[in-house]
Amino acid sequence: MTNRRTFIQTTGLAMAGLGLGAMVPDQSYAGVMGANEKLTCGLIGANGMGMTDLKAFLALPNTECAAICDVDENVLNRRLADTEKIQGTRPKGYKDFRKLLENKDIDVIIIGTPDHWHCLPFVYAAQEGKSIYCEKPLSNTIGEINIMEKAAAKYGVTVQVGQWQRSDPHWQDAVAFVQSGKLGKIRTVRTWSYQGWMSSVPVKPDQPVPAGVDYDFWLGPAPLRPFNPNRFHFSFRWFWDYAGGMMTDWGVHIVDYALFGMNVKGPKSVMSMGGKFAYPQDATETPDTQQALYEFDGFTMLWDHGIGINGGYYGRSHGVGFVGNNGTLVVDRNGWEVIPEVLNNKPQMERVELKPASGKGLELHMQNFVDCIKDKNLKLRTSIDIAANTAKVCHLGNIAYKTGRRLYWDNDKSVFINDPDANNYLTPVYRKPWELPKI
C-alpha cells in the first residue's frame, strides 16, 4: 500500500519531472489525510523557541511529538521529560537530526536551531517530503534563503515560518486600515525595536566544552572556534557566524509588517550605519545601535534599533509607524492606533483609539499551519516566499552596515548591482565536511 510519505515523494517527483513542481502546492495529504487524522512531529533544536513552537503544536487536537533532536544532551533530556508530561508518552531522543529525519512516521518537522543551522535541516526535511515549521529568520544568508525556496518548490512541501505576527488579528486589521487609503499618501514607514531588557554581554574566557554537548555538530557549517559560553544558546544571535543581531532577530517581525502594509518586496537601495556605541567593550559582534534606510518607489523605510534602552518612537519600545499625509498609524504587539496629522489646528482625519491585541499570535499561527497541511485550498500566513522576502530585506540592511556604503539591489536577480564586494556577503562558505545544498 502507498503510505502518505511515499505518496508525496512519488507525486512530487512526477510533477517536478513535468516541470510543474513549483506550481503545485504541498501534496502530503491531498486526498489522503482526513481532518481528524493525527499529525506527528519531530523537533530539531529544542532549547528556546523550538520548544515554545512544539508546545503550540501539541496544544492542537490530534497532534503528537515522536522525536526531539538537540546537540546538547542536557537540553535534550529536559525537553524529552517536558514533552512526556504534556502528551503522556516520551519521544525518542536524537543528537543527529539526520537520524530523526529517517523516521517515516513523522509528518511535520519543527526547526528551532540557531539561524546558521536552518538551511540544511530544512532542505533534508523537504527532500523527505515532510511539512516544515521553521523559526525565523528563514536563514542566516541570502544564498541559503534562495536554496530553501528552491527546495520547498521542488519537493512541494508545506512551509510556515515563525513570523507569527502575520496571524495576530490586530496586525491584520492595522494593515487593512493602512491599505484603505485613509492615511493619505504614505511617505515613510518607521520600524524599530528598542529592547531595554537586553543588556551587555560580559566578556568571558574560552572554556572546555560542557559535558553532553556535541560542540562540533553545534558549529556545523560555521567556522571552527573554541567553545565560549557567550556564543552558545541564546546569545548566539549576537555573533555574525550564527545570526544577524537585532536586525534579523526582531527585524523580521517588525520589517515584515512594513512590507506587508506597503505591499512591496525588495528595495531599490539600502544604506546603514551604527555600531557598538552602548557597550563597546562587551563580547558581542553585532551592533547594539543601528539604523538602516531603504529606498522604495514612492517612500522610504527606516529600521532603528537599540539594545539596553526602551526609547522607541511614539512611546513604544517596538513597532511600525506608517506616516501618511492625513495621519500616522502605529502598531506593535500591544495594539494599533491612528494619530491624526494636525494642520492649522485642524485634524486631517479622525483619531482611532488603541485597538488592543489578542495575545494569541503564535497559537493562531500554528493552527493555520496545521490547517494548511490538511487542506491545500487554505492560505499560509507566512509562506516561504513571504518569509524569504522579509529575511532578505533584513540581511540587506546588515550587508550595507558591513560595507559602509549605499548599495543598489536587483530583487529579481537577488544580487547587488555592479558590486562584487557586496555580493561576496550573499553566499556562505561552509566548513567541511558540510556542503551548501544544491537544488
Q: Is residue 268 located within the same domain as residue 412?
A: yes
Q: Is residue 281 located within the same domain as residue 409?
A: yes
pLDDT tens by residue, 375-416: 989 999 999 999 999 999 999 999 999 999 999 999 999 999
Note whether residue 437 is domain-resident.
no
pLDDT tens by residue, 278-317: 999 999 999 999 999 999 999 999 999 999 999 999 999 9
d(CA 227, CA 209): 6
Set of cell numbers at residue 245: 543581531
Q: Is residue 378 located within the same domain as residue 251?
A: no
d(CA 19, CA 388): 22
Note whether residue 241 is domain-resident.
yes
Note whether residue 120 is domain-resident.
yes
The average pLDDT across 19-39 equals 50
Q: Is residue 137 located within the same domain as residue 36?
A: yes
Listed as own residue / partner, the contacts of 102-106 with beta carbons closer than 8 Å and 24 or more positions apart are: 103/42, 103/66, 103/67, 104/3, 104/5, 105/40, 105/66, 106/40, 106/41, 106/42, 106/66, 106/67, 106/130
**CATH assignment at residue 310:** 3.30.360.10
pLDDT tens by residue, 103-142: 999 999 999 999 999 999 999 999 999 999 999 999 999 9
Nearest Cα neighbor of 400 from 267, 278, 213 is 267
Structural domains in the chain (count): 2
Note whether residue 433 is domain-resident.
no
Q: Is the dihedral of CA 406, 410, 411, 415 positive or negative?
A: negative
Q: Report cis status (omega within 30 of 0) of the bond before 433.
A: yes
Q: Is residue 182 located within the same domain as residue 198?
A: yes
Q: Is residue 245 located within the same domain as residue 268?
A: yes
Note whether residue 283 is domain-resident.
yes
Q: Is the pLDDT of residue 1 over 50?
A: no
Set of cell numbers at residue 379: 492560505
**CATH assignment at residue 135:** 3.40.50.720
Q: Is residue 211 located within the same domain as residue 64?
A: no
pLDDT band for position 83 (50/70/90)?
very high
pLDDT tens by residue, 314-367: 999 999 999 999 999 999 999 999 999 999 999 999 999 999 998 999 999 999
Q: pLDDT value at position 329?
A: 98
Give the single-character DSSP code of 430. P
pLDDT band for position 19 (50/70/90)?
very low
d(CA 112, CA 118): 8
Span between the terminal Cα atoms of the chain, in Å: 30
Q: Is residue 248 located within the same domain as residue 300?
A: yes
Note whether residue 245 is domain-resident.
yes
Q: Is the pLDDT of residue 24 over 60?
A: no
Note whether residue 434 is domain-resident.
no
Domain containing 100 equals 4-166+365-384
Q: What CA–CA distances, in Å, run from 19 to 16, 27, 145?
A: 5, 16, 22
Q: Is residue 63 located within the same domain as residue 142?
A: yes
152 half-sphere exposure, CB direction, 13 A CA radius: 24
Q: Is residue 380 located within the same domain as residue 396?
A: no
d(CA 93, CA 95): 7
pLDDT band for position 30 (50/70/90)?
very low
Note whether residue 429 is domain-resident.
no
Q: Is residue 181 located within the same domain as residue 92?
A: no
- 305 strand-pairing partners: 193, 290
Q: Is residue 202 located within the same domain as residue 257?
A: yes
